[in-house]
Amino acid sequence: MIFGMVHYRPKARVGWMFSIAALLLCLAGYLARGQTQLFELQDSPVPDILTASAYAALFGSLIGFVRPHRCGWTADHFLDIALVAVCGLLASWTMLSWPVLANAAQVGPNEVVMAVYPMLDTVLVAVLMHWMLTREPQGIALTMVETGVGMVILCDLAVSLDTAGLTRLGDRYALVPFFIGLGLFGVAALHPTMVKIGAHVDYLERSRHRAIVIGVVLIVAAAVPPVRLSADGFDRWVIAGLLALLLLTLLARSERSRQREIRAQHLADHDALTGLPNRSALLRSLSAQPATVSVLFIDLDDFKAVNDRYGHEAGDDLLVEVGARLRASLRRSDTLGRYGGDEFVVVAPVDRADALVLADRMRAQLAAPFVLRDGSRLAVSASIGIATSAAGLTRDNLVRYADRAMYAVKASRRAGVAAYDLERYPDRSGPTWVSIG
């Protein structure tokens, strides 16, 4: 790996440096464990200290490789990692860790360390799985690194199964994945694509894959407690604590999902600039109104000139302020939305006479000058078209005819209000003028 770092000079070296430290510590721990067995020093803490340090370095290596993904992560992703980790901890404690402690004649530091190893592996697995599900492919070298980490974890799993008395593989076979993992790390460092590992990459959203993984681990977690129905004492408290932590994490994840759905629905129904309901939300609101309903179509006069003279940022600020003023003139039963551009639409459960009064209030709200970012004062007027269902128009036609009435005001080249009158224009050929103010 040192040769690969010197030869290819990757920009992100933190992960590789931690990888080198992890491999050296793993080898040192393995050699130290062999020496303690050779000289019958079974109580020596040196091998376990070295191995635990290797875990810390391996975790640092993963964090060094994962770090560029932080820009796309949210609390949902960390909760997903927590769910996988807690489920893994529950399975590890039940199947691997507690049997080591329960079968020991006397619980000492070595037994505690052997019980902790599977739980450390669980945390590594959670981070590794989530990382693999939130990144774009980065070449053969990264695949080798991921496989190497998986092999090291598989080695620890084999040793833990032997220690728990569930298998009889022996050190000779249990350590095979460990040496394969070491070899893969070395080969990965020699491949040219190693420069891509740890480099900044775009975050990849794979919600469906994450949901599948979480579903699988939850099924495993649900199957674990029945295995230990006879749990008592300390074992029972640990299982109960892990189950409580799993429940809290699930509740937090569920609440986050609910809040995300609410935000997504809000964004789908509201204009991003003004925060007002958008066109689709307005049409749904119109369909839910009572028999008598009026639509007021508002269009700002000469808005293009504002953008041309003061810039689009000033135009956006003006639209936001116009929306706020129009909303201040409405009742709770009225719905104001941005239809598009500088066009606003009001849906109100009123007849035409009250709609004219409402239009008068809105024009009064817009009468005061607007103050732009640069301190400029700007007078704004609006043309308003009205269509009322009681006049014989169907709801499907209300917005369309209110729009036509508004354009009739535009054509007159004077700010005002126009409303369709079917008694005067039974063929809906044009609006009748109603002068306000």
**Encoded amino acid at 343, one letter:** E
SS3 414: coil
Q: Within a domain: residue 274?
A: no
Query: CA of 224: how far to CAs of 89, 90, 96, 168, 182, in Å?
Result: 11, 7, 12, 23, 32
Q: Looking at 80, 342, 403, 421, which residue is catalytic?
A: 342
Please choose, from the candidates 120, 192, 212, the residue with its C-alpha nearest in 3D space to the C-alpha of residue 157.
Answer: 120
Question: Quick one: 12 and 105 in the same domain?
Answer: yes
In a domain, 273, yes or no: no
Shared domain for 6 and 126, answered yes or no, is: yes
Residue 382: enclosing H or E segment and its boundaries? strand 382-388
Domain boundary among 213, 246, 268: 268
Q: Which domain holds residue 31?
A: 2-268
* pLDDT tier for residue 172 given thresholds of 50, 70 and 90: low
My answer on whether 310 and 233 are in the same domain is: no
Residues 346, 262 share a domain: no
Task: Give the residue from 117, 124, 123, 119 showing the smallest Cα distance to 47.
Answer: 117
385's enclosing H/E stretch is strand 382-388
CA dihedral of residues 194, 197, 198, 203 (deg, nearest 10): 160
Look at residue 127 and tell me if it is in a domain.
yes
pLDDT at 86: 84
Q: Is the pLDDT of residue 14 over 70?
A: yes
CA distance 50 to 64: 21
Residue 221: the pLDDT is 66
**232 and 323 inside one domain:** no
Tokens at 202, concatenated: 């775009």
Q: What does the alpha-carbon distance between residue 428 and residue 393 come to, in Å, rounded to a whole number?
A: 9
Contact 396, 306 (CB under 8 A): no
Q: What is the band of 336 on the pLDDT scale with cuts at 50, 70, 90?
A: very high
Across the chain, mean pLDDT equals 78
C-alpha 24/C-alpha 429 separation (Å) is 87
Which strands sit side by side in the sheet containing 343-348, from one edge to the other? 335-340, 343-348, 294-300, 382-388, 417-419, 432-434
Do 221 and 326 belong together in one domain? no
Query: Other CB atoms closer than 10 Å to residue 355's CB: what's the count?
Result: 25
Listed residues 238, 268, 298: the one ending a domain:
268
**Residue 182 contacts residue 31 (beta carbons within 8 Å):** no
Using alpha carbons only, give the angle 426, 431, 432 rounded to the nearest 5 degrees: 95
The verdict on residue 323 lying in a domain is: yes
Shared domain for 220 and 105, answered yes or no, is yes
The stretch 353-374 carries a mean pLDDT of: 90
Least confident residue range of 158-167, 213-222, 279-288: 213-222
Q: What was the pLDDT predicted at 346? A: 96
Task: Give 3-state DSSP helix, strand, coil % of the chain, rounded to 5.
Answer: 65, 10, 25
Residue 117 lies in a domain: yes
Q: Indicate which CATH number applies to the domain containing 357.
A: 3.30.70.270
Q: Is residue 160 part of a domain?
A: yes
Residue among 48, 323, 6 at smallest CA distance from 159: 48
Kindly tell me if the per-residue pLDDT of 253 is higher than 60: yes
**Same-domain status, 286 and 264:** no
CB 95, CB 77: distance < 8 Å: no
The pLDDT tens digits of the residues spanning 98-144 come to: 777 877 777 777 777 777 878 878 887 777 777 676 666 667 887 88
Residue 422 lies in a domain: yes
Same domain, 356 and 250: no
Per residue in 35-60, pLDDT (tens digit) is 655 555 556 667 777 877 877 787 77
Is there a single domain that holds both residue 290 and residue 257? Answer: no
Q: Is 342 tagged catalytic?
A: yes
> Do the domain assignments include residue 398?
yes
Confidence band, pLDDT 50/70/90 cuts, at residue 278: very high
Measured distance CA(52)–CA(124) in Å, rounded: 13
DSSP string, 329-360: TS-TT-EEEEEETTEEEEEES--HHHHHHHHH
Q: State how beta strands 417-419 and 382-388 pair.
A: parallel
Q: What is the pLDDT of residue 430?
A: 59
Within this chain, do residues 222 and 348 fall inside the same structural domain, yes or no? no
**CB-based contact 292:390 (threshold 8 Å):** yes
| Cβ contact 339:299 at 8 Å | no
Which residue blocks in 67-169 are alpha helix, DSSP H? 75-92, 98-103, 109-132, 140-163
Given a cut of 50, whether residue 436 has pLDDT beyond it is: no
Choose the final residue of a domain: 268, 303, 332. 268
Q: What is the mean pLDDT of residues 330-346?
A: 93
Q: How many domains does the chain have?
A: 2
Residues 261 and 291 occupy one common structural domain: no
